[in-house]
Amino acid sequence: MKLRTLALGGALVVAATSTHAAELARKPFGKLPSGEAVEAFTLTNGKGVSATVITYGATLQALVAPGRDGKSADIALGFADAETYAKTASYFGATVGRVANRIGKGRFTLDGKTYQLALNNNGVAALHGGAKGFDKVVWKVLDTKSGPVASVTLGYVSPDGDEGYPGTLTTTATYALDEQNQLTVTYGATTDKPTIVNISNHALFNMAGEGAAEGAMGNVLTIPADGYSPVDAELIPTGETTPVAGTAFDFRKPTMVGTRIRDGRDPQMVIGRGYDHNYALNGKSGGAIRLAARLSDPKSGRVLEILSAEPGLQFYAGNFIDGTWTGKSGKIYRQGDGIALEPQHFPDTPNKPQFAPVRLDPGQTYRNVMVFRLSVEK
C-alpha cells in the first residue's frame, strides 16, 4: 500500500491511498510551564471515529464517535492545551503507573525489603504511581504508522528508585485505531530488577459527549462481574470479594449509572461518595480479551465496549470532580460528568496475597491490552 504525505493546517498527515485506511496527523499541543513541548497525534478512520493522543502522560486527549443521527461528539473528558493538563491533577485520559490505583499506606514489601512511596492520596495512600507518575511526564515518540491501522507508540524509561519503586522500568504505550472502530491501547514494560507494575488508562467517558448538560449519570452501564472489592475508610480494598447480587453494585444487566448512586443505605456508597470500586471480572484473566464493560447513551445511540484480559476493572463515577476544572469545549466539569472504567489488577495488590500478583522480574514482559470498541445502537 502506497503512502502519500499531505500538509493539513500546518500538521503533517500520512495517509494511505486506499479509501479504507486510517490516517495519522501530528501537530504541536503547546508547552508545559517548564517550557517542554508536547505533541498531539490524531488517528482517524473512514467511519468518523478519531482518537487524539498527547505525549504528556501518554494521554488519550479526545475520542470522537458518531451517533445514530450521524452527528459526532467527543466522548472523553480532557483539556485543550498542555499547560492546563500540567496544572490539574485530573488524570483525564492519562496513562497511570507504575502502579495504577491505590497502595495502602504507600508501602509494600518485595523480597524482604520494604519500600515507602509518596502518600499523594490524602496523605494515607499512594495513588497512580506517585507525585510524579507516568501521567506527569512527557513520553518519547517511538513510532507512528498509517494504513489499515493507524497507530502511535510512545515510550518512557522510569529510573531505578523513581517515586520509590525499585528497578529501571522501560515502558511503552501504543494507541492503534482500525476500520472496525476499535481503539486498541497496549501497555508493555520490562525491568532490570524485581519490581511491581500495574499500568492502566484513566480515561473518563460520557457517551452523551464531554461537557453535556445532563452529565454522564444517564449513561447505561453493564459490567460482567459477580463480585466487587469493598473498601475501608481510606478506599483501600479490605481483601474480600463481595457478591454484587442485591446491591447497588450490580451492573450485570444494563443499568443507568445514576439509578442507585445516591443509595446512602449502603455504607460502601457513602465511603466512595458513589462508585469508586474494583470489580472482579467474570471469566479467566490473563488469556484472551473478554468484555469488561459496556457503556451507552440511549439518546445518541453511542456505545462503547471495553475488552480486557485483566482480572479487575476500576469503576469510578467522577465523584470527586468538583466544578473547578473547565474542559476543552469550555464547559465546567462537575461531579458525575465522567465515568472511568479502568482494566487493571486489583488495588493494593502488593499487600493482598490473595489477589493476582503484580510482580515483574527481569526477563519478563508486562503487558496490558485494552480495546475500546465503538458502535451505534439503532
pLDDT tens for each residue of 122-164: 999 999 999 999 999 999 999 999 989 999 999 999 999 999 9
Active-site choice (23, 210, 310, 342): 342
> Can you tell me the distance from the alpha carbon of 374 to that of 117, in angstroms, rounded to the nearest whole number?
37
pLDDT tens readout for residues 202-252: 999 999 999 999 999 999 999 999 999 999 999 999 999 999 999 999 999
> Can you tell me the distance from the alpha carbon of 330 to that of 343, in angstroms, rounded to the nearest whole number?
29
> Can you tell me the distance from the alpha carbon of 326 to that of 37, in angstroms, rounded to the nearest whole number?
22
Return all residues near 346 (Cβ < 8 A) that are at least 6 apart. 229, 237, 278, 280, 311, 312, 352, 355, 356
Active-site choice (202, 210, 277, 345): 202
pLDDT tens readout for residues 56-66: 999 999 999 99
Q: Is 20 a catalytic residue?
A: no
Nearest-CA neighbor of 332 among 89, 79, 82, 53?
Answer: 79
Cell 515510550, residue? 155
In this structure, which amino acid lies at residue 24? L
CATH topology (fold) of 3-376 = Beta-galactosidase; Chain A, domain 5 (2.70.98)
pLDDT of residue 1: 33
pLDDT tens readout for residues 272-308: 999 999 999 999 999 999 999 999 999 999 999 999 9
The neighbouring-strand residues paired with 21 are none
pTM for the structure as a whole: 0.94
What values do phi and psi take at 308, rounded to 5? -160, 155
Q: Is 39 a catalytic residue?
A: no
Cβ proximity of 4 and 12 under 8 Å: no
> Can you tell me the distance from the alpha carbon of 175 to that of 247, in angstroms, rounded to the nearest whole number?
36
Taking the domains of the chain in order of start, what are their residue ranges? Answer: 3-376
Per cent of the chain over pLDDT 90 is 93
Q: Is the pLDDT of residue 338 over 80?
A: yes
- Please tell me whether residue 274 adopts helix, strand or coil conformation: coil
* pLDDT-derived band at 20, boundaries 50, 70, 90: low
pLDDT of residue 89: 87
> Can you tell me the distance from the alpha carbon of 368 to that of 98, in angstroms, rounded to the nearest whole number?
12
pLDDT tens readout for residues 21-48: 799 999 999 999 999 999 999 999 999 9
